[in-house]
Structure formats: C-alpha cells, structure tokens
Amino acid sequence: MSDKSTSGIKIITINRKASFNFFFKEILEAGIVLKGSEIKSVRDGKINIAESYAIEKEGEIFLINSHIPIYKQASYSNHNPYSERKLLFNKREINKLIGKINEDGLTLVPTKMYFKKGKAKVEIAIAKGKKQYDKRQTKKTKDWNREKARYFRRSS
C-alpha cells in the first residue's frame, strides 16, 4: 500500500550559506530546465548551489553559477558544468520578480533543490544581503541557543 501522507519531495541539496548571508523576504518554487546529462548528475546528488544566484535576461529568469558536474557515462553529449539554467516561472511571477529586483535592491538566491513528483524544482528566495554586524548577531544567537539547549539537557 502507498503512504498518502508523504509529500513526494526528495531534497537534493540545501544552500546553508544563503540563510547566513541573506534575510529572506519571500520564498518561491520554480522548475528548472536541465539537459539529459544534467538531470542524471542531479539524480546522483552531485550539485552545488552555494555560490549561485538568479538574474533576469530578456524577460526570463536564469540560474547563474550553479555547478552540476559532468556525468561520466554521457560521453560526447555532456553539458557545461557552469552553464546558465533557465528557471520556469509564469509571466506574472517574472514581472513581479523583476520589479522587486530593480526597485528594492533585492536579489534572487536559490535555497534548496529537490525533486517533487519526479520533477526537479528549485526554491528561490527574494533576499536582502546582511551586513557584517547582522551576521555576527546571527552567529551569537545560534551559539546562545545551543548553549541553552545543552544546559537544559544537563539539568534535567
């Protein structure tokens, strides 16, 4: 019997650096256009989106600087590991994103890549960059919460 409570999502990679470097304003889901050798490499779980970002080009959104390594079994039909990959948004979402990027000085950062019902999806965050003092405060808060949890574990 199949379990209907599972959502059909298999996480491939998470961009942990993004939450440290950016404040997230809004999170959106987008499909991604991949070639055959790229999707095979992604299914192997070999992808890096830590330094990547999304930009607008000619009315479309592209993912830049994401690294999908070469799939060895693809031989001559292999892909470029650092090529630009088109993100699939509808026109209304693209116009909204372009307006926010240009007007508010925000950026588009991928936070997660996963398979949803067999399709590769990217979670994109509309984000604002953190200043150095914000990063220090985030680290301080995280360390304090860790110490607090240790203290409560020891005391009980």
CATH number at residue 121: 2.40.280.10
Residue 96 maps to a domain = yes
**Using CA atoms, how far apart are residues 24 and 61, in angstroms rounded to an integer?**
18
Residue 22 maps to a domain = yes
Residue 7 or residue 112, greater confidence: 112
Residue 139 maps to a domain = no
φ, ψ for residue 4, nearest 5 deg? -80, -10
φ, ψ for residue 76, nearest 5 deg? -75, -20
3-state DSSP assignment of residue 30: strand
Residue 13 maps to a domain = yes
Residue 62 maps to a domain = yes
Copy the structure tokens of residue 56.
């607008």
Residue 140 maps to a domain = no
74 pLDDT higher than 80:
no
Task: Domain count for the chain, please give it.
Answer: 1
Domain holding 81, by residue range, is 9-130
pLDDT digits (tens, 9 = 90+) for 89-144: 999 999 988 888 887 778 899 999 999 988 899 999 998 888 888 889 888 999 99
Residue 77 or residue 116, greater confidence: 116
Calculate the average pLDDT of the chain: 86
Please tell me the pTM assigned to this model.
Answer: 0.77
